[in-house]
Amino acid sequence: MSAVSEAAPGKVRARGAVRARPPHDGAAAPLAPRARLLPALSAVYRAQLSRARVARIPLLFVATFQSVGIMILMRGVVDGGDEARAVVAGSSVLVVAFVALNLLAQYFGQLRASGGLDHYATLPVPPAAVVLGAAAAYASFTVPGTAVTAVVGSLLFKLPLAHLWVLAAVIPLSGAALSGLGAALGLLAPRPELATLCGQLGMSAALLLGVLPAAHLPEPVVWARDLLPSTYGVEALARSFDARPDWLLTAADLGVCAAVGVVSLAVATWAFRRAAVR
Amino acid sequence: MGAGQEERGGSPGRADDAGDTVCTVRGLVKTYAPARGGDPVRASDGIDLDVRRAEVFGLLGPNGAGKTTLVRQLTGLLRPDAGSVDLLGHDLVRHPDRAARLVGYLGQESTALDELTVALAAETTGRLRGLTLRAARAERDAVLDELGLGPIAGRPLKKLSGGQRRLACFATALVGERPVLVLDEPTTGMDPVARRAVWAAVDRRRAERGTTVLLVTHNVIEAETVLDRVAVLESGRIIACGTPAGLKELVADEVRVELVWRDAPPLDVPEVAALRGAATETGRRWSLRLDAAGARAAVAAVTGGPAFAALDDFTLATPSLEDVYLALGGRAEGLVKG
């Protein structure tokens, strides 16, 4: 790390320029201050959110219609109980997987391949700010689609709406897990097509393993289901449809999402740093 | 600085006096792994360079000469295999992350900004350069105003023409002041008005703040008009370095003769057949570098008798940096005029 890094991350306000230790003769020029994590994160978040207006809205419609369509299809097969809850919860979290995993993997894959990362790499911004800002923005894009899907599904299958507030935890936490995974895939894939492929496969897995009731799946597929982070978001949401939800288990499921989110976002930040300087 | 300093061989990029040097590069080597079955490519092959404070220093060369590889090493984006880069007293090989705090960089790609509006691209870049929100907005407004981008500030970059988009990216490079600007072909696709805005903005920063500018270009005319000094790159090496005028003195006794034939060149005329050996042929155009007497003889030969009937057009010109480049052994293709 740099010998002139800022004194302490907690100390805020521009200290102005920090003088560097001269490496050889003569004094080194002062360095401009770094961008601090939170302001940089919010700047990236705002910029990414503004992209939504231009580029993302049609895709958000696609994501929502896909999930609503799946629920309408499944209504012919499932007539209530555990299975109905799995279908609604799986379809709702599928919106998160579509946007946060699939689209974010594509975005970072293309940004890396086209040299767009250079823009960030030549700014004094912490890599975590770029990764977290983009991930947070993509997770935010999923809010309307996920909420609409959950409400429509609950009405369609006559499930109680009382505990749907749990979406306020499910969306950010499964969003963190899936967008971290998407960002890491996009930044680690050697080619952008592979990033796209991985994102699509991840979304397909979230669709099949999330929507189909676990009880009917063969043993190895159940293991795969347990490995997929979106599963825990689905389980947490499905529990909230109970008349008296087991909040402890819900919290445990969401804890898994949070843990996966922390790890995958850390990996994505490492991958960003690695991809930016070659 | 005259032609005397542009000795060939040795290290043409090294300045004789180290006074007020902003950037010192020594022995820079970067090799890319070979494509399947090929040889490894030495994109930087032992580069020495001194850039002085407040000068506009150019890197001129055709595509593939190693210009972009060199600036990527100067901006901390690429780690050299060997050699040293000292920028304003900071060792950028050991601390590549410091480059972002010293340099405003304009790369060739705008994909990170394409979907943002011009105003938001400038503001966001300013914030990521460490400015507060208020400072970023103030600088955004000042730079957009300076470059005449106000009327299109609300439009996304990807909806703009290539030249406008380039100007908007240039604007982002200026928000958040830096002592050094590294600009990789900044005026590509721009109309003359936008180009003037770019050079006016560069000149203003140089005069008012002593900003040093490192400019990558393959445009000969631009190099001759805006650069204080220029390093000519070929296959990862600096083959010449000096002021444009000084470099042109290397070939001052030469005259460039351009001949354009109506159809096939009249090779049955012995003088024309003799010229062919010295000519670079591009379609119906022959390009020759001759000494003054040779040029006179050539013009006399093609403007009289049967050769004149076959001639469509001819021009005589004093040497340009392209001629310097060719005289020093550069490949012919790749440099752009105009």
Say which CATH number the domain at B305 has: 3.30.2130.10
Boundaries of domain holding B135 = 21-242
B233 and B263 together in one domain: no
Kindly list the residues from chain A whose CB atom is less than 8 angstroms away from the CB atom of residue B77.
118, 121-122, 276-278
Candidates A169, A151, A156; CA nearest to A84 is A156
CB B59, CB B71: distance < 8 Å? yes
Of B192, B209, B242, which marks where a domain is finished? B242
Which amino acid appears at position B99 of this protein? Answer: A
Name beta bridge partners: B148.
none
Is the model's pLDDT at A158 over the cut of 80?
A: yes
Q: What confidence score (pLDDT) does residue A26 get?
A: 58
pLDDT digits (tens, 9 = 90+) for A163-172: 899 999 999 9
* Cβ–Cβ gap B127/A39 under 8 Å: yes
Q: What confidence score (pLDDT) does residue B89 get?
A: 93
Helix then strand count (H, E) for chain B reads 11, 14
> How many domains does chain B divide into?
2
> In chain B, whose CA is at the least distance from the CA of A2?
B95
Mean predicted confidence (pLDDT) in A1-23: 38
- Is A9 within the bounds of a domain? no
Kindly list the residues from chain B whose CB atom is less than 8 angstroms away from the CB atom of residue A274.
none
**How, if at all, do strands B56-60 and B229-234 pair?**
parallel
Of B242, B262, B283, which marks where a domain is finished? B242
B124 and B198 together in one domain: yes
- Is A103 within the bounds of a domain? yes
Alpha-carbon gap, residue B240 to B230, rounded angstroms: 8
Residue of B76, B120, B158 with shortest CB distance to A277: B76
B53 and B156 together in one domain: yes
Alpha-carbon gap, residue A195 to A189, rounded angstroms: 5
Between chain A and chain B, the number of residue pairs with CB atoms below 8 A apart is 136
Alpha-carbon gap, residue A198 to A207, rounded angstroms: 14
Neighbours of A218 (CB within 10 A): 8
Give every CB contact of residue A18 below 8 A, 6+ residues apart in sequence: A4, A6, A30, A31, A33
* Cβ–Cβ gap A115/B101 under 8 Å: no
* Cβ–Cβ gap B109/A116 under 8 Å: yes
> Could you list the mean pLDDT of each consecutive 10-residue stretch along chain B, which spans 338 residues?
42 68 94 80 91 93 88 92 94 93 92 91 95 96 96 93 94 94 92 93 94 90 88 90 88 86 86 86 87 87 84 86 78 62
Is the model's pLDDT at A143 over the cut of 80?
A: yes
* Tokens found for residue B21: 């040097």
B254 and B196 together in one domain: no
Boundaries of domain holding A218 = 36-276
- Is B70 within the bounds of a domain? yes
> How many domains does chain A divide into?
1
Q: What is the ipTM of this complex?
A: 0.82
Residue of A115, A118, A123 with shortest CB distance to B125: A123
Q: Which B residues in the span 219-278 are in contact with A, Cβ-Cβ below 8 Å?
A: none
B145 and B108 together in one domain: yes
Is the model's pLDDT at A32 over the cut of 70?
A: yes
Residue of B90, B129, B178 with shortest CB distance to A20: B90
A211 and B CB contact within 8 Å: no
Alpha-carbon gap, residue B170 to B147, rounded angstroms: 9
Size of chain B, expressed as the number of residues it contains: 338
Worst-scoring range by mean pLDDT, A57-61, A182-186, B232-236? A57-61
